[in-house]
Amino acid sequence: MFIAGNIERSVLHLDLDTFFVSVERLRNGRLIGKPVIIGGISDRGVVSSCSYEARKYGVSSAMPMKMARNLCPDAIVIRGDMEAYSNYSNMVTDIIAERSPLYEKSSIDEHYIDLTGMDRFYGCYKWSHDLRQYIIKETGLPISIGLSVNKTVSKIAAGEAKPNGEIEVKKEIVLPFLDPLSISKIPMIGQKTYHVLRSMGIATIYTLRNIPAEMLEKLMGKNGIEIWKRANGIDHTPVMNYFEQKSISTEHTFEKDTTDMARLNQLLASMVERIAYELRKQEKLTSCVTVKIRYSNFDTHTLQKRIPYTSFDHVLTDVAKELFAKLYQRRMLIRLIGVRFSHMVRGVQQLDMFDDTPEKVSLYMAMDKLRRRFGRDAVRCAAGVMTAQEREEKALKQLENALTEQKMMEERLKKYMMYGF
Ligand code: TTP
Ligand code: MG
Ligand code: MG
């Protein structure tokens, strides 16, 4: 890992423009120049991506589809296709991986590249410009870039360069570049923090960075200091390359070696459930599942599969089971099984929610909430031989029970507070 204290760095950020929309436009040229919205197409769906023509009407990501349709009745609404977007996303990553000294894939449409030291051989800006042109030529996708001294400033610069632009922010102009911008441009500042700061009259980065760091710390704890640093153009977080990024995995060694298929499948499903929960907790999506088995004679085999980005148990369980079935050919006693998720990027599960079942997302969120409250194993729905529908029904039942139990506990607590027993 490369941590820069005093060394001046060159960090490039790349972010595809209106990514999901741009992919749809490659597949259907008639969408070019029109207001286009991608997401769950029913009224209960949400907007994933929208073209600049739709943004003019006030449409934005994460907005309920119903509201978006009201704002822009002429918009062409398309249900998303995560498989296609994952393929294009990986195409861009492959180009970057082939050419870059050190890169990090940070979301489905974003990468950071550390170009520190490159200037000795080739101008960093020229290199970045050429890479951007190459990506556009090879994939047909518009992309914007920001080049600066660290991740925060280069990401903000890429945002300012949109659509389809390039901005370099040299060390000397970091502060003048940041000063007039809205505090909402700082990646660390989410909606909640934004409103807190806005309610105090803080609108621009200039105002924010001139507030004493200690005051922000009092207001927001450790985060306050980090935000102050970002506002001052300071960010030492390293570009993490693929190998340094952690995958999420789990293994199970049997006390007694087994060939019990029902048990193996059930265990596999519960292992997937456990690490998929971890994935969602970290707000990540995976695009590669690996299953490992070790036979009683210690022969070890692994098999992996690339998949569209997801964090859903039901999708991941099916992939793991498919891999396990392919892997387990020898009908010999098994000593250990393992599952790993890798090739992960930042992203929440709504990202692959196009199938118009908000109930499913709500179910996952409710289950994860219970897990956070009552522990990781509070809710289990894995059962090897069940169909997806049976699994869902069982999970719903468990959820119902857990909620009833929670309600009873709350009632008891209320009574206790009222009567003291
Ligand atoms: P973004 O890069 O945030 O957005 P964008 O590429 O659509 O537009 P921009 O030109 O401003 O970069 O996100 C990348 C993709 O991730 C986006 O095309 C769709 C998906 N996404 C969601 O599904 N839900 C969301 O809330 C957001 C923000 C993105
Ligand atoms: Mg984008
Ligand atoms: Mg993005």
Give pTM, 2 decimals: 0.82
Instruction: Collect contacts of 97-102 with beta carbons under 8 A, ≥24 apart.
Output: 97/242, 99/131, 99/134, 100/131, 102/2, 102/239, 102/241
Please tell me the number of the ligand nearest to residue 18's CA. Answer: 1
The residue whose CA is least distant from atom 5 of ligand 1 is: 18
DSSP character at residue 204: B
Q: How many angstroms does the Cα of residue 18 sit away from the middle of ligand 1?
A: 6
Q: How many angstroms does the Cα of residue 341 sit away from the middle of ligand 3?
A: 22
Catalytic residue among 24, 53, 104, 110: 110
- Helix and strand element counts for the chain (H, E): 15, 13
pLDDT of residue 376: 67
Mean pLDDT of 303-317: 93
- CB contact at 8 A, 287 and 90: yes
Most distant CA pair in the chain, distance: 77
* pLDDT tier at 357, thresholds 50, 70, 90: low
The residue whose CA is least distant from atom 29 of ligand 1 is: 48
Please tell me the number of the ligand nearest to residue 159's CA. Answer: 1
Helix, strand, coil % over all residues of the chain, rounded to 5: 50, 20, 30
- Cβ–ligand 1 contact at 49 (below 6 Å): yes
* CA terminus-to-terminus distance, the chain: 56
Average pLDDT value over all residues in the chain: 88
The residue whose CA is least distant from atom 15 of ligand 1 is: 19
- Cβ–ligand 1 contact at 16 (below 6 Å): yes
- Cβ–ligand 1 contact at 17 (below 6 Å): yes
Which amino acid type is present at position 350? Q
Q: Walk me through the domains of the chain, giving residue ranges and CATH numbers.
A: 11-16+87-231 (3.30.70.270), 19-84 (3.40.1170.60), 248-405 (3.30.1490.100)
CA atoms within 13 A on the CB side of 132: 27
Mean pLDDT of 245-262: 92
Is the per-residue pLDDT at 46 higher than 90? no
pLDDT of residue 195: 92
3-state SS string for 156-199: HHHHHHCCCCEEECCHHHHHHHHCCCEHHHCCCCCHHHHHHHHH
Q: How many angstroms does the Cα of residue 313 sit away from the middle of ligand 3?
A: 24
* pLDDT tier at 360, thresholds 50, 70, 90: low
Is the per-residue pLDDT at 325 higher than 80? yes
* pLDDT tier at 122, thresholds 50, 70, 90: confident
- CA 231 from chain centre, in angstroms, equals 24
Cα-trace Rg, the chain:
24
Q: How many angstroms does the Cα of residue 175 sit away from the middle of ligand 1?
A: 27
Mean pLDDT of 337-346: 94
- Cβ–ligand 1 contact at 14 (below 6 Å): no
- Cβ–ligand 1 contact at 86 (below 6 Å): no
What is each CA distance from 13 to 96, 111, 139, 323, in whole angstroms? 11, 6, 18, 35
DSSP line for 129-164 = HHHHHHHHHHH---EEEEEESSHHHHHHHHHHH-SS
Give yes or no for a cis peptide into 163 (omega within 30° of 0).
yes
User: Phi and psi of 129, rounded to 5°?
Assistant: -60, -45
Query: What is the spatial distance between Cα 32 and Cα 173, in angstroms, rounded to a whole number?
Result: 36
- Structure tokens that stand for 83 in this block: 């498989």
DSSP character at residue 377: T
| Residue 411 annotated to the active site | no
Q: Which atom of ligand 1 lies at the shortest distance from residue 47's CA?
A: 24
Is the per-residue pLDDT at 217 higher than 70? yes
Give the best-scoring range by mean pLDDT among 119-123, 194-198, 301-305: 301-305
What is each CA distance from 205 to 17, 81, 149, 235, 243, in whole angstroms? 24, 37, 17, 15, 35
pLDDT tens digits, 363-411: 777 777 777 777 766 666 554 445 556 666 666 676 666 666 666 656 6
* pLDDT tier at 421, thresholds 50, 70, 90: very low
pLDDT of residue 256: 93
pLDDT of residue 73: 97
Give Cβ neighbours of residue 218 (< 8 Å, ≥ 6 apart). 224
Q: Which residues of 273-305 are buried (b: 16+ CB within 10 A; e: fewer)?
A: bbbbbbbbeeebbbbbbbbbbbbeeeeeeebee
224 SS3 class: helix
Please state, for a pLDDT cut of 70, what percent of the chain lies above it: 84
